[in-house]
């Protein structure tokens, strides 16, 4: 089982011809609410591909709680550890330009109240614990401590990059970052930017995956580093593509795949996701045909 401790958001998406300049007002379209949040996105991505997944998280007592969890339930994610708190459900306001690039502003809401101690037994029964940066750092740190004591593999996608105890980074196998996040994590570890995946491994992280969008990804561990190409696709919406990659990566690791093979598959899943609008709605099921790598 993959246990994800992470965020659950309602995504408010606005489509624009281009992103506005500071102080500028543009007309847009859309305005619909879809489910999101990095934790929920990654849980859906892995579950749709066939992995058993449980989510530790929280929603608020508002109208957004139901749509935020709908596709989690549809994918078969175990939601027994999702609590309802006296707060609003996390909200992400997303603008998507015609070229597919996006900006995201996140209001944490109930995600700021996610704790893990009462769910320690669930973490201890997992094969993989997956974490991101949209829940409190202390909750991430406690979840890692529980997992390590039980011999559970830890995967960390520190997005967004929040200050965490270095023990979280050194427990990650792998640590999954995009190129911008890698620069910020380098600062936390006292490294000079720019850094490579191998630099982070030499600093003490067991294995690292750095994604570069259309330029693919690089993986590194003690045996060396390898570049993984991307698939050539026409992007429609890049929202949630990194989460599709990470969820697919964990799915393959749960299937006992080597990291290099898991990353190749994840790259194809991420490419599939950008060809469809939205985050969770764009993620493939096993019967979907994935693009081939270049």
Considering 78, 199, 221, 243, which one is annotated as catalytic? 243
Residue 137 resides in a domain: yes
The pLDDT > 70 percentage for the chain reads 100
Whether 27 is covered by a domain: the verdict is no
At 48, the pLDDT band (50, 70, 90 cuts) reads very high
142 is an annotated ligand-binding site residue: no
pLDDT confidence of 289, banded at 50, 70, 90? very high
239-256 burial string, b = 16+ CB within 10 Å, else e? bbbbbbbbbbbbbbbbee
As a residue count, the chain comes to 294
What is the structure's pLDDT at 25? 94
- Tokens 């949630």: give the residue: 240
Q: How far apart are CA 168 and CA 175, in angstroms?
A: 9
Instruction: Compute CA 71 distance to the chain's CA centroid, rounded to the nearest angstrom.
Output: 16
> Is-catalytic flag, 87?
no
Give residue 155's pLDDT: 98
For residue 100, is pLDDT > 80? Answer: no
Beta bridge partners of 3: 54, 129
pLDDT above 80 for 249: yes
Instruction: With respect to residue 96, please indicate whether it lies within any of the assigned structural domains.
Output: yes
Q: At what angle do helices 38-48 and 65-74 cross, to 10 degrees?
A: 20
pLDDT at 106 over 90: no
Which pLDDT score is estimated for 11?
87
Q: Is the pLDDT of residue 123 over 80?
A: yes
- Flag whether 203 is in a domain: yes
The residue among 246, 255, 248, 274 whose CA lies nearest residue 291 is: 274
Which pLDDT does position 98 carry in this prediction? 87
- Reported as a single tens digit per residue, the pLDDT across 213-223 is 889 999 999 99
Residue 288 lies inside a defined structural domain of this protein: no
Residue 148 pLDDT: 97
pLDDT at residue 58 in the model: 98
Question: Looking at per-residue confidence, does 134 or 98 come out higher?
Answer: 134
* Residue 217 within a domain: yes
pLDDT confidence tier of residue 188, bands split at 50, 70 and 90:
very high
Query: In total, how many domains does the chain have?
Result: 1
Task: State yes or no: 111 annotated in a binding site.
Answer: no
What is the predicted pLDDT for the residue at 83?
A: 97
DSSP the chain: -EEEE---EEEEEEE-SSPPPTT-----EEEEEEEE-HHHHHHHHHHHTT--EEEEEEEESSTTHHHHHHHHHHTT-EEEEEEEESSPPEEEEEEE-TTS-EEEEEE-GGGGG---GGGHHHHHT-SEEEE-SSS-HHHHHHHHHHHHHTT-EEEE---S-----HHHHHHEEEEEEEHHHHHHHHHHTTPPSS--HHHHHHTT-S-EEEE-GGG-EEEEETTEEEEEPPP----S--TTHHHHHHHHHHHHHHTT--HHHHHHHHHHHHHHHHTSSSSGGGPPPTTSPPPPP-
CATH of the domain at 278: 3.40.1190.20
178 is in an annotated binding site: yes
50 is annotated as contributing to ligand binding: no
Whether the pLDDT of residue 61 is over 80: the answer is: yes
pTM for the predicted model, two decimal places? 0.92
Task: With a cut of 80, say whether residue 23 has pLDDT above it.
Answer: yes
216 carries a ligand binding annotation? yes
Q: Kindly state whether residue 287 falls inside one of the protein's structural domains.
A: no
Of the candidates 220, 226, 176, 179, the residue with the CA atom closest to the CA atom of residue 201: 220
Average pLDDT of 181-202?
Answer: 94
Locate 106 and state its tokens: 């996140």
Model confidence at 238, pLDDT cuts 50, 70, 90, reads confident
Distance (Å, rounded) from C-alpha 169 to C-alpha 174?
Answer: 9
What gap in Å lies between CA 68 and CA 82, rounded to an integer?
12
164: Cβ–Cβ under 8 A, 6 or more apart, which residues?
Answer: 133, 137, 140, 141, 158, 188
For residue 74, name the pLDDT band (cuts at 50, 70, 90). Answer: very high
Averaged pLDDT for residues 72-95? 95
The answer to the question of residue 242 being in a domain is yes
pLDDT at 173 over 80: yes
Res. 73: pLDDT tops 80: yes
Can you give the pLDDT at residue 239? 80
- Give residue 56's domain range: 2-17+32-282
Nearest-angstrom CA–CA distance, 104 and 118: 31
């Amino acid at each position: 089982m993959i246990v994800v401790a992470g965020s659950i958001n309602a995504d408010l998406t606005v489509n624009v011809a281009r992103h506005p300049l500071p102080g500028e007002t543009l007309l847009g379209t859309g305005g619909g609410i879809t489910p999101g949040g990095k934790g929920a996105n990654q849980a859906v991505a892995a579950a749709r591909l066939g992995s058993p997944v449980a989510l530790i998280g929280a929603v608020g007592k508002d109208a957004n709680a139901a749509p935020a969890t709908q596709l989690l339930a549809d994918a078969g994610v175990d939601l027994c550890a999702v609590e309802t708190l006296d707060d609003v459900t996390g909200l992400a306001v997303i603008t998507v330009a015609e070229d597919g690039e996006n900006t995201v502003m996140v209001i944490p809401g109930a995600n700021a109240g996610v704790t893990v101690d009462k769910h320690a037994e669930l973490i201890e029964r997992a094969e993989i614990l997956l974490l991101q940066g949209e829940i409190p750092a202390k909750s991430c740190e406690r979840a890692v401590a529980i997992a390590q004591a039980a011999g559970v593999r830890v995967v960390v996608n520190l997005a967004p990059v929040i200050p965490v105890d270095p023990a979280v980074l050194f427990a990650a196998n792998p640590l999954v970052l995009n190129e911008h996040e890698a620069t910020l994590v380098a600062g936390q570890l006292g490294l000079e930017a720019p850094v490579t995946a191998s630099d982070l491994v030499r600093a003490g992280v067991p294995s690292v995956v750095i994604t570069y969008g259309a330029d693919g990804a690089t993986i590194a561990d003690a045996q060396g580093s390898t570049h993984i190409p991307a698939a050539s696709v026409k992007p429609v919406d890049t929202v949630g593509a990194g989460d599709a990659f990470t969820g697919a990566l964990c799915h393959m690791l749960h299937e006992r795949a080597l990291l290099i093979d898991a990353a190749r598959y994840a790259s194809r899943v991420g490419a599939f996701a950008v060809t469809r609008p939205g985050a969770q709605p764009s993620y493939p099921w096993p019967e979907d045909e994935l693009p081939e790598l270049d």
